[in-house]
């Protein structure tokens, strides 16, 4: 096999690898805080030239900092929560530039001998490719805008009778909008992701709280890069997540507040492209190495994802 034949075979795969696996650095299980308020996951999107994709992932987060208060003081307890997540995700194109996606997580939380599990929040998204990369330009990125709805099929911390241990998501209806910008060359790729969301209030009636819970707004800002060689990609990403204070208006007319949440997640990933249809990704993330977190817990995560794609 001559060099021209090798390049003809490997060049499309390298371009495919660098674009297909960018989104994996934003795996939801690798960046969600253990006690987040009204946050949203990054939507399932096809950022390559495929017709459809499906992925299954497993992630485990070990909470290492149990509480960061409003003054930024870190506290660790004798025992820590463990959060395991299995997620199924799929996306399909509607037309040349439009696509739809959906994700469904199953979450288990464990603290000591206590364990709770069940369905998390389901998310559905609609995306539009407003900057295409059909004719290659060395500087122009591919741009995809999206809108996402979160369906509160999981239990929120506000609905919990056991201090949030049985929570399986945010538990609020929410809408989000954002954009993903990506650019890949022969060996390197970069991306920037911006997302803004609004979670809507709900009535809560438990033995601890009775009243209206108003979670407010939040955002995700992330960037990353990757290096590609042969059939592999090594990636790095940094994401900042921020959530507004949550107000609880009690039935007796009084109000209580949960302060603004903020945390940063550093993630490393290693991906392998198995042919033109399958890919594997291992990831590690750490929320304790960067930033100035507030009113949250912090953890370290390991994840494994398998993805299958169908060409156009």
Q: What is the CATH number of the domain that holds 112?
A: 2.40.128.130
Q: Is the pLDDT of residue 5 over 80?
A: no
Count structural domains, the chain: 1
Bigger pLDDT: 140 vs 209 = 140
Identify the DSSP state of 37: S
pLDDT in tens, 235-247: 999 999 999 999 8
> Within a 10 A sphere around the Cβ of 155, how many other Cβ atoms?
22
> What does the alpha-carbon distance between residue 271 and residue 311 come to, in Å, rounded to a whole number?
19
Stretch (H or E) spanning 34: none
Residue 230 confidence (pLDDT):
86
pLDDT in tens, 11-21: 444 454 555 55
Helix ranges (DSSP H) in 157-276: none
Q: Given 3-state DSSP classes, what are the helix, strand and coil percentages for the chain, each rounded to the nearest 5?
A: 10, 60, 35
Q: DSSP assignment of 43-79, as one string?
A: PP---SSEEEEEEEEEEEEEEEEEEE-TT--EE--SS
Q: Residue 1, SS3?
A: coil
Q: Which of these ranges, 115-124, 131-140, 182-191, has the smallest mean pLDDT? A: 131-140
Segment 26-31 shows an average pLDDT of 40
Segment 280-290 shows an average pLDDT of 94
Residue 19 confidence (pLDDT):
55
Cβ-in-10-Å burial (0-12, 13-18, 19+) of 257 comes to exposed
Q: Which domain holds residue 103?
A: 3-311
Q: How would you list the strands of the sheet with 210-214, edge to edge?
A: 202-205, 210-214, 246-250, 255-258
pLDDT in tens, 153-177: 988 888 888 878 888 888 899 999 9
């Amino acid at each position: 096999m001559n060099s021209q034949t090798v390049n003809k075979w490997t060049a499309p795969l390298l371009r495919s690898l660098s674009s297909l696996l960018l989104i994996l650095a934003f795996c939801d299980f690798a960046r969600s805080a253990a006690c987040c308020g009204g946050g949203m996951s990054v939507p399932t999107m096809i950022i390559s030239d495929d017709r459809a994709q499906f992925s299954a992932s497993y992630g485990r987060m070990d909470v290492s900092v149990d509480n960061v208060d409003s003054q930024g003081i870190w506290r660790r307890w004798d025992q820590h929560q463990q959060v395991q997540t299995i997620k199924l995700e799929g996306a399909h194109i509607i037309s040349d530039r439009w696509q739809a996606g959906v994700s469904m997580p199953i979450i288990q939380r464990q603290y000591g001998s206590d364990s709770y599990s069940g369905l998390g929040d389901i998310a559905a998204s609609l995306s539009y490719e407003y900057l295409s990369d059909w004719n290659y330009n060395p500087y122009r990125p591919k741009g995809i805008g999206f809108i996402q709805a979160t369906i509160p099929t999981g239990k929120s911390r506000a609905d919990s009778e056991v201090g949030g241990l049985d929570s399986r998501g945010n538990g609020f209806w929410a809408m989000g909008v954002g954009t993903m910008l990506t650019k890949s060359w022969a060996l390197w790729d970069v991306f920037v992701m911006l997302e803004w969301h609004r979670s809507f209030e709900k009535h809560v009636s438990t033995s601890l709280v009775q009243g209206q819970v108003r979670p407010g707004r939040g955002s995700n800002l992330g960037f990353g890069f990757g290096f590609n060689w042969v059939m592999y990609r090594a990636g790095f990403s940094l994401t900042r997540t921020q959530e507004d204070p949550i107000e609880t208006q009690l039935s007796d007319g009084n109000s209580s507040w949960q302060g603004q949440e903020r945390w940063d997640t550093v993630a490393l990933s290693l991906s392998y492209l198995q042919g033109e249809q399958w890919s594997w990704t291992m990831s590690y993330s750490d929320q304790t190495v960067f930033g100035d977190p507030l009113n949250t817990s912090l953890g370290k995560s390991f994840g494994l994802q398998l993805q299958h794609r169908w060409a156009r």
